[in-house]
Amino acid sequence: MHNLLSRANSLLAFTLWVMAAVTAACFLSTVFLDYTVSNHLEVNDIKIRNVRDYATDDKQADLATLAFNLKVDFSRLFNWNVKQLFVYLVAEYKSAGNAVNQVVIWDRIVERAERVVMDEIGVKTKYYFLDDGAHLLKHDNVTFVLRYNVIPNAGYLRLVQSTNQLVVPFPTTYTTTRRS
Amino acid sequence: MDGMIAMLPAPLQQLSSHIDFQGQKVAERTYQVILTLAGIIGFFVGYSTQQLSYAMYTVMGAAVFTALIILPPWPFLFRKNPIVWQTPIEEQEASSSSDNEKKDKKKETKKTK
C-alpha cells in the first residue's frame, strides 16, 4: 500500500470480491422460487407416413407431421437472476420397441422482457418426428409435454416441466400424399 | 512500478505516491468500509429494480469514487505521520580515530544490507 499501484491493486481485488458476493446473494435470493407455469396446447392435423429411414438402419419407419397451437404466459418467471428460457415441446410415448420414447419436436429461446406471453398458432414441427420403427400408427396416447430450462445469471441450469400435458391419439391410417 | 515511472516524461518522474504507515492503514480501512457498504446497498438496489446490472454499477461506481480518495497521496489524509528516520552517520562530527573505525565498520555493515 506504499505506492499508487499497490493501492490500486488492493482496491481492484476487493472490488471483485464484493461483486462476487453480490452475485452470490442474487443467486440465493432466487433459488427457492417456484418456476412452474401452465400452458394451453392444442395439436392438430396429425399425419403419419411410412418412410424409409435412410439415416440409420434403412428400414421403414413412421414419420409424423403435425401443427400445434401453444399459449403460455412466462412473465411471472423472469427475475433479476433469469436471463432467458429455453422452451421445448416433447412427444413422449411407449412403443413395442422401446419402453420410453421422447422426441423433441420444437424449441425456442425466450428472452427476458417486461411482459412475455407466447401465443403461437399453427406452428409446424421444427424437428422430424420420426419413430424408431413403425409404432406410431394407431397409437392411443402420445403425450405432449412442455419443458423449459431457466437460464440464470448466476447459478445452476434449472429444468422445469409445465403443469399440464396433452394426450393425443394418433391416426389409424397412413397418409400417402406428399402434402403435409 | 519503477519501469512505469521510467516511461513517464521527465518532470513527472519526480512525483512519488508513497504514504506513511498510518496513512496506509487509513486507506485500507477506507476502501473496505466504502466497498462493503456499496455491496450491501447495491444488493438492495438490484433487488428492488430486479436488475443485476444496477447492483454491479453501484459497486463499480463506489470503486471509482474510492479510487479518487485513496489512490492519490493526499497529504492531509495520508501523510500526517511521517516516518522519522535516523540521521545518517556521515553528518555526525568525527571525534577520535577509534570512533572513526567503529563508524567505518558501521558503514560497511550498512552497505551490505
Closest residue in chain A to residue B41, using alpha carbons only: A22
Q: How far is CA B6 from the centre of its chain?
A: 19
Rounded CA gap, A146 and A165, in Å? 7
* Residues β-bridged to residue A52: A60
Q: pLDDT per residue over B34-72, tens digit each?
A: 999 999 999 999 999 999 999 999 999 999 999 999 999
* pLDDT higher at A21 or B105: A21
Contacts of B39 in chain A (CB under 8 A): 18-19, 21-22
> pLDDT at position B88, please?
86
* pLDDT by residue, tens only, chain A of 180 residues: 888 999 999 999 999 999 999 999 999 999 999 999 999 999 999 999 999 998 888 899 999 999 999 999 999 999 999 999 999 999 999 999 899 999 999 999 999 999 999 999 999 999 999 998 888 778 889 999 999 999 999 999 999 999 999 999 999 999 988 876
**This prediction's pTM:** 0.82
> pLDDT at position B104, please?
55
Rounded CA gap, A79 and B55, in Å? 14
- H-type alpha helices, B50-96: 52-70, 75-78
Contact state of B47 with A7 under an 8 Å Cβ cutoff: no
Contact state of A11 with B67 under an 8 Å Cβ cutoff: yes
Residue type, B28: E
Per the structure block, which three cell numbers stand in for B49?
A: 429494480
Contact state of A18 with B32 under an 8 Å Cβ cutoff: no
Alpha carbon separation from A37 to A12, A110, B63, B91, B92 (Å, rounded): 42, 14, 40, 85, 87
Does B26 touch chain A if contact means CB atoms closer than 8 Å? Answer: no
Alpha carbon separation from B85 to A81, B73, B89 (Å, rounded): 55, 20, 12
Does B1 touch chain A if contact means CB atoms closer than 8 Å? Answer: yes
Rounded CA gap, B56 and B69, in Å? 20
Q: Are B52 and A152 contacting, i.e. CB atoms less than 8 angstroms apart?
A: no
